[in-house]
Copies of this chain bind each other. A is one copy, B any other.
């Protein structure tokens, strides 16, 4: 099946929101071996949308639509697709009941325009919306399968995973499937990694090797095509081994692994805890670690000592240290890491101090950063000189923090 993802909504064409739905659907289709050849975005305009659908029919056999199923007048996806495929819209009693209940449960009055959401294209399979009101639907006509999904990601994503993936898997009779594995690297640039692996990338066709820089990390996606899953896994294993042998100090995980997930897992395994003292990162480290449910078993909390005053009040950094070395210093980082560890009785303390920019501080350039790490036996620090915007510097600083902590724990410390 060759798929095209068609998002409908003028808010996308006005740049008010980003088309994250297309990314999500693409990623999930790749995982089940469906090729995506095009993404298209059209606005809330029936004529232009109709011509997009006509064009898509000539080049793709699976059309996945997001958006335009809502209650308002500019929601016209169903109406337009029904017209192109010359199909009727019919009321779906179950969906209407569901919508009515939704209003009752959230204790709100149902306005009449909401009834439009219970209209479906005749002969469709209906996908219930467990996180909103507009149901999704799918039908096949003229050899082309159309899937219509709501626009809000919080409704579309769970519907896709629960209903659309099984629907597509049951439809697809394909023998050769694609199996992907993502290798994750930190601390190395994309072009350096690609040059390092030049030979492999040129020689390899199955699996394919696709490096990609994203969010201060580099990933390599290996994709093997095979009718047998085990054989595909073998192909992936072989190529992975070759890659990792050349890049082992930067390689840290797979697929959904993140630097923070890896840290949480190894701390859980060691039954150890961590606390943080943050200056330039202003709480970003603790925010990222507590994004993950269950972080409370390993993360005690910490101090955000954004001002020098708070470095003294909360972490008792001596005035003499601040005077002699400054807050942006190896000495201050180490003090902060050790102090937060002992104050909170954690096994590890980590600290971040530096200049996020754009302005200099203590005569030090933006991007000057010190990360301190402390455990019972030692307290060390890592100086960094980072480039980029304020946000990039803060984000990379935190990633380096996770990376250094992971390395320390890996070494058994």
Chain A residues with a Cβ under 8 A of chain B: 7, 10-20, 22-30, 36-43, 45, 48, 51-52, 55, 59, 71-72, 108, 111, 152, 154, 191-192, 194-195, 210, 212-214, 219, 221, 275-276, 278, 281-287, 289-291, 293, 295-296, 299-307, 309-310, 313-314, 343-345, 356-359, 388-392, 394
Given known pairs A293-B357, A389-B154, the reply for A39 and B13 (CB within 8 Å) is yes
Given known pairs A10-B210, A11-B212, the reply for A304 and B306 (CB within 8 Å) is no
Contact of A210 with B15 in the complex, beta carbons under 8 Å: no
Contact of A295 with B282 in the complex, beta carbons under 8 Å: yes
Contact of A358 with B293 in the complex, beta carbons under 8 Å: yes
Given known pairs A14-B26, A38-B41, the reply for A359 and B293 (CB within 8 Å) is yes
Residue in B closest to A202 when the chains form the complex, CB atoms? B73
User: A285 — which chain B residues lie within 8 A by C-beta?
Assistant: 283
Contact of B41 with A48 in the complex, beta carbons under 8 Å: no
Other than A282-B289, A282-B290, A283-B302, give 8 A-B pairs with Cβ distance below 8 A.
Answer: A7-B39, A17-B214, A38-B40, A275-B310, A282-B286, A283-B304, A300-B306, A301-B303
Given known pairs A27-B16, A290-B282, the reply for A111 and B303 (CB within 8 Å) is no
Contact of A293 with B13 in the complex, beta carbons under 8 Å: no
In angstroms, Cα B43 to Cα A26, docked, is: 12
User: A28 — which chain B residues lie within 8 A by C-beta?
Assistant: 15
Contact of B42 with A38 in the complex, beta carbons under 8 Å: yes
Minimum CB–CB distance for A230 against chain B, Å:
23
Given known pairs A283-B278, A286-B283, A300-B306, the reply for A19 and B19 (CB within 8 Å) is yes
